């Protein structure tokens, strides 16, 4: 095994004894300034001379520690070194990951591909084993400088992290690659830092519903009265709607979480469904001129404008179609429905995700304080009654 120093100017890997690189760079001064990256070189066990080089950081002590670690692995667990031989580029890993059957069949496969393409445009030609936390941090800075939202950048890194974890399970990368992706801090301080808290009132909903085109009213009402996701609504078929039992039965392949669930149909939505025409040739519930609906953004934006309700993420206080899911969660909570029941209806797997869709506003806070005041007054009244009923002192009637 051997340790090499990489010139920060020409990137030539050379002996530690060299004081001046062939390009003229002063390596002694560069080492003191922590500008020299160290590499370890060793041969893998087994037939044939298979040489492997790994970056070992900007410290000679770290390089010596890495050299000792690999030497011990070569003697005790040589199969670990075999993993380090497989060193695909980020672009190759992305192609492999997107081709996995489990990934291809996901409803979010298009979004995963979108996120990985953004990453590959910057880091695609780099070998995964050569990546360092600073590379990913520079990527975050570059994306932010380009005007990309922090939540989007965090999502891109998270998708890449999932890809690397799967690659590690399949022995395509080693643990060092996993560690690099895990060490990068998200741009948002918490998972809920970018959570939307926009809900609409019942009066706003009715105002929008009145001015919507006839074909757009049923799916919007379904979002408001069930809290179903947009994809679940537009892929809904009559075979999943049990009008007699007043329940929508979503199959596992229809939900984001991959778990089947049942969504109750309230009386208002039951009346809307009862009035919907059914196509002989198409089983979809929501149609427009005989074709299944896919989106309502333009119709909803126009209706919101006519109803005087702000619409869109860029508008102050504007709501989106997905905010109807927020509204459903919040309305159920305000109606006193237990959180466990709400999560079962909406399909939230974790409390953290439920909290993103449950909005507590000023009215809720004032209502809570009013209930506390009533409780305290009730307690004071009960205390006064107890004092009046208390027995008198000895010798008094």
Chain mean pLDDT for the chain? 81
279 and 327 fall within a common domain: yes
Please indicate, yes or no, if residue 395 is contained in any of the structural domains: no
CATH value at residue 324:
1.10.443.10
pLDDT on residue 369: 44
100 and 218 fall within a common domain: no
Please indicate, yes or no, if residue 397 is contained in any of the structural domains: no
61 and 114 fall within a common domain: no
65 and 116 fall within a common domain: no
Please indicate, yes or no, if residue 214 is contained in any of the structural domains: yes
Integer angstrom CA distances of residue 1 from 48, 96, 131, 364: 16, 32, 22, 67
Tell which of 67, 85, 103 closes a domain.
85
How would residue 350 be classed by pLDDT, with cut points 50, 70 and 90? low
The predicted model gives 359-379 an average pLDDT of 51
Longest CA span, the chain:
111
41 and 60 fall within a common domain: yes
| Structural domain total, the chain | 3
Please indicate, yes or no, if residue 33 is contained in any of the structural domains: yes
Helices (H), 77-132: 78-85, 90-98, 101-104, 109-123
In this predicted structure, the answer to whether residue 113 has a pLDDT above a threshold of 90 is: yes
- Closest by Cα among 243, 202, 242 to 225: 202
175 and 209 fall within a common domain: no
208 and 335 fall within a common domain: yes
Please indicate, yes or no, if residue 305 is contained in any of the structural domains: yes
78 and 94 fall within a common domain: no
pLDDT on residue 251: 86
pLDDT on residue 360: 46
Please indicate, yes or no, if residue 188 is contained in any of the structural domains: no
Instruction: Give one word for 319, left, alpha or beta, with left for phi > 0 and alpha for psi -120 to 50.
Output: beta
What is the residue range of 178's domain? 90-183
Tell which of 183, 218, 241 closes a domain.
183
Please indicate, yes or no, if residue 117 is contained in any of the structural domains: yes
How confident is the model over 24-57, as pLDDT tens digits?
999 999 999 988 988 888 776 666 666 667 778 8
95 and 225 fall within a common domain: no
9 and 58 fall within a common domain: yes
How confident is the model over 223-245, as pLDDT tens digits?
999 888 888 899 999 999 999 99
210 and 173 fall within a common domain: no
Tell which of 57, 85, 113 closes a domain.
85
How would residue 158 be classed by pLDDT, with cut points 50, 70 and 90? very high
Q: What is the DSSP letter of 319?
A: B
CA-to-CA distance for 283 and 238, rounded, in angstroms?
Answer: 6
pLDDT on residue 58: 87
32 and 141 fall within a common domain: no
Please indicate, yes or no, if residue 384 is contained in any of the structural domains: no
CATH value at residue 173:
1.10.150
């Amino acid at each position: 095994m051997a340790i090499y120093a990489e010139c920060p100017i020409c990137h030539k890997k050379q002996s530690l004894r060299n004081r001046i690189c062939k390009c003229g760079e002063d390596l002694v001064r560069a080492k003191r300034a922590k500008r020299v990256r160290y590499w370890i070189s060793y041969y893998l066990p087994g037939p044939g001379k298979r040489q492997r080089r790994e970056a070992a950081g900007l410290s000679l002590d770290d390089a010596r520690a890495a050299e000792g670690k690999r030497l011990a692995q070569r003697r005790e667990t040589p199969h670990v070194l075999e993993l380090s031989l497989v060193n695909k580029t980020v672009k190759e890993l992305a192609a492999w990951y997107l081709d996995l059957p489990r990934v291809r069949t996901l409803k979010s496969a298009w979004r995963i591909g979108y996120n990985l393409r953004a990453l590959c445009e910057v880091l695609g030609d780099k070998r995964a084993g050569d990546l360092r936390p600073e590379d990913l941090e520079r990527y975050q800075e570059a994306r932010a400088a380009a005007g990309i939202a922090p939540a989007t950048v965090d999502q891109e890194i998270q998708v890449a992290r999932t890809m690397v974890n799967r690659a590690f399970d399949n022995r395509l990368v080693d643990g060092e690659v996993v560690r690099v992706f895990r060490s990068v801090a998200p741009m948002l301080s918490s998972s809920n830092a970018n959570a939307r808290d926009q809900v609409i009132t019942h009066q706003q909903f009715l105002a929008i519903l009145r001015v919507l085109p006839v074909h757009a009213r049923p799916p919007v009402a379904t979002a408001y009265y069930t809290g179903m996701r947009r994809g679940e609504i537009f892929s809904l078929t009559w075979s999943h709607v049990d009008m007699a039992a007043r329940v929508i039965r979503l199959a596992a392949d229809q939900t984001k979480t991959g778990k089947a669930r049942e969504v109750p149909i309230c009386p208002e939505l039951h009346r809307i469904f009862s009035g919907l025409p059914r196509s002989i040739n198409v089983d979809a519930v929501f149609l427009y001129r005989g074709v299944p609906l896919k989106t309502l953004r333009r119709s909803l934006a126009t209706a919101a404008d006519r109803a005087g309700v702000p619409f869109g993420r860029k508008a102050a206080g504007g709501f989106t179609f997905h905010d109807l899911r927020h509204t459903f969660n919040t309305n159920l909570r305000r109606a006193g429905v237990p959180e466990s029941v709400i999560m079962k209806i909406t399909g939230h797997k974790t409390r953290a995700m439920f909290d993103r869709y449950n909005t507590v506003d000023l009215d809720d806070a004032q209502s809570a304080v009013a209930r506390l005041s009533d409780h305290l007054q009730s307690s004071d009244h009960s205390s006064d009654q107890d004092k009046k009923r208390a027995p008198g002192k000895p010798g008094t009637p």
